Amino acid sequence: MMRVVACKILVALRLVPRPAFTARFTAEHPDPDAMADSRVYIVGGRGYSKWAYFRCPADREEIVQLSLMSERYPRWTVAVDWLGRPTIDPSVRQLDGTYAHFWIRKGVVGWCGDSGRKPEVT
């Protein structure tokens, strides 16, 4: 609760940008019908994370599911700062649909220059 208040104050003072996403840790996979547009759901337990789920910022009907497990490929990492803002590494690239390509850094979406274009297969 204090993180939410602190984030709102810092955003109001324009000390940090308004995050498009905040993180929520959960032991269960989220129900797609109940997923908030502005939330990254990190599925796991104490000391480990398995999956990250969130609605694609280019098409909120699309749900992005990223593996966070170190033994899988491809895989991503999610770091959450003290304000609850997620950073996902590496970038997220949708291979169909909107072909969105973006970063999430401290909860803010950054679009890559090739976003919206079908990736070239080599």
Torsion of CA 110, 98, 27, 73, to 10 degrees: -90
Average pLDDT estimate for 25-43: 96
Which residues are within 8 A (CB) of 49 and not within 5 positions of it... i.e. 6 or more apart? 42, 43, 68, 78
Q: Is the pLDDT of residue 120 over 80?
A: no
Q: What is the mean pLDDT of the chain?
A: 91
pLDDT at 115: 86
User: Cα separation of 13 and 111, whole Å?
Assistant: 25
